[in-house]
Structure 1
């Protein structure tokens, strides 16, 4: 069933397995103990950062399959993407899996985009098992979008630290909680932010609009949820998002940002927080989904937010468009959830 931009699943699919892999910086953060694997060598023994990112993604998908007691040939498709040009980290990862691959580029919004598409395919009966995966690597991203690490440039206070890691989740028609109850795919919005070191400001307006559209479509209220997670707005973007929502008459008291959960800004030198396609992917798979499965949270909204520029458009002086995709997740099926005036 569809209401506005929101797809509501009458038979919500399940996230039957998930895994998160992180690097050295992530091992020093607050969620370290929740990761399935932490790799101190961010080169993974490879000669390039780009090859290392593919290793992170491969380890992650292998871990998710192992946890789900599945072989790769059980997957009907893998929806995956990353920040490298032409999504090469994901494509090179999938060389090792004899599985249909659908490459996605939503920048840092890729995990929610892939997760939502996989949920639609599974709920529609077109696939039995579908995986969503996203990754990023700090060194590869800095070299591609900003300046090589050898340059030694000073980072601005609004800059964010790209997560070195990957998250993967496998969806199926049934399998218990967490359940995917709804998806709202976002629209591209551009508020003329041109500072490549301020991704939070570029993405916050898109996150605001997607959240507003979801609540308008469904009639839900923020207080129905244990938490509303955004992908990687960081400190600057989160502050702006809350301000924008308040101006629209929707103050959020239960908002959390993955970029502020994966790192400790006071103890780690990450400026405004975490970012990258692996940011929301790892937090989703090591923190949000386990909390729902274990019943520590009942209902959440999860958004991945993406800045859709390239290194070429930035050098051409273009502004930075943003997009945000939303997933409604629950530890209960719809008929089990009581909500004020009844049940959706």
Structure 2
């Protein structure tokens, strides 16, 4: 058996877990964007029949899990672990979803990098034969995030051009053993990187250094480079953060070119007035569960690096004048035919 750890921060799996099912549920704004045909469910309004946005977000997460299970005809009892998180205090969306689902649960928090964090942990557990079927899932909601991190929507606060639009959506991925199809062959665990950004309306700049650090570390640990991938996609750097990350990476001699993109740029059309682009746990989740994995199954992409990016702030830390630390984790997904 070959040693699974490679370099300083990366892992190569002996038995790469297969992505056997995915599901994406999005809000009405996301359902008007360029990827609308790739989502499983577009809800009609952000309340989704609930009395609060927070309750709606938890319901969206539960619905994504239900659809993912239904696609492969699995029951909740056949799932060994539910790895999930969100952006709200104490990850209440995931906690309350887990309460309803009744699946053994690890609550995760890596800000908007939580999906990839869950995929790494789930892959380690399946590769190590500690579990057979695992769900990794996340959610976010525009209105809950604005209320917690910035200003309630009712105030009509003017957003600066650096601001991003938190995606209302949830994605769920089921991991299991398998041979053919998309499989997670490797991962790079990121370090917290902080360049001193303090503006909660400029998350892209705060996360870009961590994204660059993780991508460079993956290249160095695995002795690979941009030419070894069909696509390298970050979670939610959006326009400003993606530009900064690309500059930092290319300073180290890795020319990404048009192989580098960001889920926050893919999910919305510029005419939708999201300013810098999309953000939130749900951003990378719904783009991955829809467009990216659909494109792999169709043969458009054979090997991609998915880099979850997160801003590790809280409302309290911002009020206390703290800077915004960034985190980025990466998984390598390859399609086996």
Q: TM-score range by the shorter chain?
A: over 0.9
Matched with 1:49 is 53
Whole-Å separation in 2 of the counterparts to 1:158 and 1:249: 28
Q: CA offsets, 1:263-296, max 9 Å, x none?
A: 012x101000000010001111001122222322
Whole-Å separation in 2 of the counterparts to 1:23 and 1:43: 9
Does residue 193 (structure 1) correspond to residue 197 (structure 2)? The answer is yes
Matched with 2:260 is 255
Does residue 246 (structure 1) correspond to residue 250 (structure 2)? The answer is yes
Matched with 1:341 is none
Q: CA offsets, 1:105-163, max 9 Å, x none?
A: 10000000001111110111000001100100000000000000111110000000000
Residues 216 and 166 of structure 1: CA distance in aligned 2, closer, same or farther (over 3 Å) = same
Aligned with residue 125 of structure 1, among 129, 135, 141: 129
Unaligned runs of 5+ in 1: 334-344
Whether the aligned pair in 1 keeps the contact of 2:179 and 2:336 (CA below 8 Å) is no
Aligned with residue 2 of structure 1, among 5, 14, 25: 5
Does residue 150 (structure 1) correspond to residue 154 (structure 2)? The answer is yes
Matched with 1:90 is 94
Moved more, 51-60 or 174-183: 174-183
Unaligned runs of 5+ in 2: none
1:211-226 aligned within 5 A: 211-226=215-230
Matched with 2:279 is 275
Aligned with residue 331 of structure 2, among 327, 332, 335: 327
Whole-Å separation in 2 of the counterparts to 1:86 and 1:176: 37
Whether the aligned pair in 1 keeps the contact of 2:304 and 2:333 (CA below 8 Å) is yes
Aligned with residue 72 of structure 1, among 76, 86, 93: 76
What secondary structure does 2:29 align onto?
helix
Matched with 2:107 is 103
Q: CA offsets, 1:170-203, max 9 Å, x none?
A: 0001152101000111111111000000000000
Whole-Å separation in 2 of the counterparts to 1:202 and 1:230: 14
Q: CA offsets, 1:68-117, max 9 Å, x none?
A: 21001111001100001000001111111121010001000000000111
Whether the aligned pair in 2 keeps the contact of 1:228 and 1:301 (CA below 8 Å) is yes
Matched with 1:284 is 288
Whether the aligned pair in 2 keeps the contact of 1:16 and 1:175 (CA below 8 Å) is no
Matched with 1:36 is 40
Moved over 4 A (4+): none
Whole-Å separation in 2 of the counterparts to 1:224 and 1:272: 29
What secondary structure does 1:107 align onto?
coil
Residues 316 and 222 of structure 1: CA distance in aligned 2, closer, same or farther (over 3 Å) = same
Whole-Å separation in 1 of the counterparts to 2:95 and 2:49: 20
Does residue 236 (structure 1) correspond to residue 240 (structure 2)? The answer is yes
Whether the aligned pair in 2 keeps the contact of 1:16 and 1:176 (CA below 8 Å) is no
What secondary structure does 1:158 align onto?
coil
